[in-house]
Each structure stands twice: as C-alpha cells, then as structure tokens.
Chains A and B, each alone.
Chain A
Amino acid sequence: MVGYSEVLQTMAAMIIFSMIMLNANLMIQRNSMMQVESELEQEVIALGQEIIDEARTKAYDAATVSAAAPPSLIPGGFTSIGPGGAETTRRSFNDFDDYDGWSDTFTTEHGDFQVRSEVFYVDPVNYQKTGSKTTFKKIVVVVTSEFLRTGSNVPKEYTLEFIRNYYAD
C-alpha cells in the first residue's frame, strides 16, 4: 500500500467534497426557486385582486343593476347566482355574481396564469356558503401557474376571497 495511501486519501476527500458540492448546489437551486416563486406570487396576488376589484364595481345583484330600485323583498328578491343568458364574457358582466363559474388565462410578463372564480351567498352569521339568498355574497378567485407547483408537482392553487354586503356597498 506504500505509495497508494495518498491516492486513497484524495479519493476519500473527493467523496466528502462531492457531498459538500451536492448540498451547495441544492442550496443554490433553492435560492433560485425562492426568487422565482416570490416574483410569481406577487403577480398572482395582483391578478386575483384585479378580478375582485372589478367585481366590486358591479351591482350587488342583477335586480339592482343601473341603480334600479331595490327589490321589494330583501334578500328574497335577489336573483340566483350566476351570469344571465346574454352575459357570456367578462365584458358583459354587470353584477357581482356574474363572475360565478368564470375562468380565463392571463398572459403576463411572468408567463400564463389560469384564473377562475366562484361566487355564492354566505350566511351572515358564520360567512359559510349557504343555499339561501342573503345580503352577503362571497367571491373566491383561484389563480394557478404552471411554474408554481406543490411538493407533489401539482399546480399550487392560490385563493383570494372577498365578502360583499348589500348594505355596505
């Protein structure tokens, strides 16, 4: 073994060094992932907020569009959730719940984002989804990107919510 001990020592050093390098690479990769994720998440929030802000500018209900007189029964006089027959695109939406079931793909500087929304009546006591009409509606906007994934490699869903009250409009 005389003369080969140095070779064995350097081989051992290489193994140790390889492990260090693997960890270092992993750290660099994590840093890069964090940078990309936080940049994209910033866009996710902007897109979700954009839809909520837009929906807030619309009437609370189809029955109150264009500052129409309130229905004689509140909340019984409100319409069912969802867009009317002619309200097929975002441009034609005229009340808050028209955004129920809507979805679209937004192309941005950071790539494509899939956005979808759901609107439903909520119970004024616990703000949970309810089948009956109330003076509270909730919009839930879900944003996903192919670049933002969970540990199990499925697209991560970012959810933004907003509760709207008929009287606090």
Chain B
Amino acid sequence: MNLAMVTSYIVAGILLVSIVMVNINISNSGAELTMTQITRDRLETVTTMLDDDIPNMGYDLLQPPDTILTVADDDHIQFFRNLCRDPARDAAFVNCSDPERITWQFFDSMTPGSSKNAAHGTLIRVVEEVGQAPDTTWIQSGVTRFNIRYYDDHGRALDQNIPTPISSSQFENIKQLYIELEVQSDERIPGRFNSDARHIRSVWEKRFSPRNLEIEL
C-alpha cells in the first residue's frame, strides 16, 4: 500500500466522520425546531385563555358580590366575570344571570407524573357558576413559571408592584396586572459546542389593563 493510498484512506475517514457529524447536527436542529414549535403551541394555548379571561374581568360587577377580584397573589388570582355570551340567558342583555368566578392558580411542586422535566408544575383554571359544579381545567403541558404582579397605576416600572399577597382592602387600588408565563419542553435537546443538554423554553409576558378595574365601586 503506497503513501497516496494511505493518505486517501485517512482523508476519506475524516470525510465520513464529518458527514456523520453534519447529519447529527441537522437532525438536532430539526428536533429543536419541532420542539420549539410544540412548546410555543402549548404556551399559546394558555395565553389565548388568559387573553380572554383577564381583560374581561369585572363584567356584571353590579351584581352581588360587588367586587371584581377576590384573590390576588403572585401565583393565584380569582375574579368575577360574565360576558353574557348566551343572550338566551337574558334577552335584555343587561342583567345577566349570575357571574362566573374564574380562578387561575399555579402549583409549582405538582409535577405531572408523565413529565420528564422536574421543573414542570400544574396550572389550573376553574370556572364556577352559581348552582353548578366547578369546571376545572388542568393545564399540565409544561408550565414552569406563572407569575402575576399587580400595579396601582398605569405604566409603573416592573419592580414597583404591590407586594403580594394583596389584602382585600387593596383590591380597588389594582389597575394593571403583569403576567409572566414560561413553558418548557418535556425532552432535553443536546447542547451545542459541548454544553449540557437543555430544555426548550418559551416565555410570554404581558401587562393587562382591564377596563373594569378603572371603575370606582
């Protein structure tokens, strides 16, 4: 075997190893993209519900009890809303039946049994209507953080929130809410450049200004 032959075998070997590495990288990148999409879809499912619930809090507030918020903590919020979505309930559309009470609460230590990510917790949304059993939605789709901050004025700096838990006497002062939600993937993806494997994460944060919180009761 001459030198040229040996050299070409070595080069061919390097080429083969490189092809394998490129394949692994491409497949990791594809997996990362897919997992990112799945994580974001899960996040969006929750944010769609929050985007509907939070801005609409307080409708029907003149019906007893005359309060919008009933719990305001950093991982727990409870409030009344009723959008009168079913006009059949009240033809006049002004005095809807009993308002719905909505609860959002996050349990960070309640990791779903099927989860492979220890940081996953459980987020629940409960809808309670008078005379009916509570309707609870268990959101166990990778939520790792659900944080709520409350502000007594519009446009305050993020860290100038009202300390939680907020007492009922202060509920009327709340004008804005800031919600931060983080969802992480179940599986890890291999890290790039020899870094550790990591979970894909997607974060959503938004400040809400529910119109009914502006009303002086």
Question: Hey, which chain A residues are within 8 Å of B204, CB to CB?
Answer: 42-43, 46
Chain A residue at minimal CB-CB distance from B206? A46
B203 within 8 A of A: yes
Task: Please tell me if the beta carbons of B33 and A24 are within 8 angstroms of each other in the complex.
Answer: no
The number of chain B residues touching the other chain, given as a range, is: 35 or more
B120 within 8 A of A: no
Q: Contact partner of A10 among B12, B202, B207, B211, CB < 8 A?
A: B12
Residue positions of A touching B, CB distance < 8 A: 3-4, 6-7, 9-11, 13-14, 17, 20-21, 24, 27-28, 31-32, 34-35, 38-39, 42-43, 46-47, 49-50, 53-54, 56-57, 89-91, 93, 107-110
Minimum distance in angstroms from A40 CB to a CB of chain B: 11
B30 within 8 A of A: yes
Chain B, 76-115, CB within 8 A of any chain A CB:
none
Tell me the bound Cα distance from A34 to B214 in angstroms: 39
Summarize B's interface: helix, strand, loop or mixed: helix
Question: Hey, which chain A residues are within 8 Å of B207, CB to CB?
Answer: 50, 54
Task: Please tell me if the beta carbons of B22 and A20 are within 8 angstroms of each other in the complex.
Answer: yes
Task: Please tell me if the beta carbons of A17 and B18 are within 8 angstroms of each other in the complex.
Answer: yes
Task: Please tell me if the beta carbons of B22 and A91 are within 8 angstroms of each other in the complex.
Answer: no
Task: Please tell me if the beta carbons of B203 and A110 are within 8 angstroms of each other in the complex.
Answer: yes
Tell me the bound Cα distance from A49 to B205 in angstroms: 12
Q: A24-B22, A27-B29 are in contact. Are A57 and B11 (CB under 8 A)?
A: no
Q: Per-residue CB proximity of B153-173 to A under 8 Å, as 1/0?
A: 111101000000000000000
Tell me the bound Cα distance from A10 to B26 in angstroms: 23
Q: Contact partner of B205 among A28, A46, A54, CB < 8 A?
A: A46
What are 7 pairs between A and B in contact, CB < 8 Å?
A6-B4, A13-B12, A14-B15, A21-B18, A54-B207, A56-B209, A109-B180
